Amino acid sequence: MQTSVQTDRSPSFALLHWYDAHARVLPWRSAPGAPPPDPYRVWLSEVMLQQTTVAAVQPYFARFVARWPTVAALAAADEADVMAAWAGLGYYSRARNLIACAREVARLGGFPDDEVGLRALPGLGAYTAAAVAAIAFGRAAVVVDANVERVVARLFAITDPLPTSRPAIRAAAATITPDVRPGDFAQAMMDLGATICTARNPRCLLCPLRGPCRAEAAGLAASLPAKLAKKAKPQRTGHAWWIERDGKVWLVRRPGKGMLGGMRALPDDGWSARADGDATPPFAGNWRKGGVVRHGFTHFDLDLQLMLCDGAEIGKPWHDDAAGEFWPVATIDAAGLPTVFAKAAQLALAER
């Protein structure tokens, strides 16, 4: 890996100087120039921050470290409790990988301190391994997330569209990654992209890298990085069943693998790309519509028709042969439902 030598004229020097004065205060960070933070906190935050905003992550991070303050504590946790605590953050495969990784780190006796060792852990890709290596262990790793992609594409005026430009962006980022304070540099690049070199209306007049920025000089900053046009997401439809009796609602556990794997949920019909039509409920009854939940996933949009049935209408004890549990409606928030089913629950509660 090619890294830069930090001089008082280098972009890395200018950026670190800016970071010393303007670093965001975040609960998983150390102050600029301070000793590195606990690798557990760095790793946990980076996993949570994948495709999720800092504002959304902060309360989840606080609850996780309060309940599981060490990687060993998380490794010993019940998987269902971790999945429930993760509910609402989305991308639930991250939570399953989180548990697997914590258990492997506990078995090893601690986190590996370099990218190679970190990449061998469950769920750690190139970005997360580089971020933990740089921030927690001071390794001169090239850390490239979406914010860094934007900064580097503009700094070097890389006009090829994403995702084809990613190798060029990574190579360019390597040329300015310093051997000193690499963790602070990585976080400085993230902060610059989040607060100054933003996707829309970049604040170029305030940018510490304005001088060497080729896109700013060419008047291209706001148009980079270029992106290929997104394809329209397919539309799916489905039904979810709200089965309530004696103040409790029937919840199922979704299969461990696949969409929303391992999460508690309302029973549903599996969703599909078919046109909306009749779906077979779990049992015969006087079912009525309770509203439609519209929810966007990464690769498709979903219209989920909520169907309601009162307890008095439940005939035979169908649940004796079904895998699930009756959960108190009064504490439905504690069930850890994924967002799409939490929305459905809110519709059902509004109908009660």
320 - beta bridge partners?
none
Which pairs count as long-range contacts for 277-284, CB under 8 Å and 24+ apart, including other chains?
A: 279/238, 279/239, 279/307, 281/239, 281/241, 281/307, 281/309, 282/241, 282/243, 282/318, 282/322, 283/314, 283/315, 283/316, 283/318, 284/315
Dihedrals φ, ψ of 258, to 5°?
A: 100, -170
Structure tokens at 208: 């510490």
Query: Alpha-carbon Rg of the chain, whole angstroms?
Result: 24
CB 308 within 8 A of CB 290: yes
The residue to which tokens 């060497």 are assigned: 212
| Residue 142, phi-psi category: left (phi > 0), alpha (psi -120 to 50), beta (remainder) | beta
Is 216 an active-site residue?
no
Which of 46, 149, 216, 244 does the annotation list as catalytic? 46
Instruction: Indicate which residues carry an active-site annotation.
Output: 46
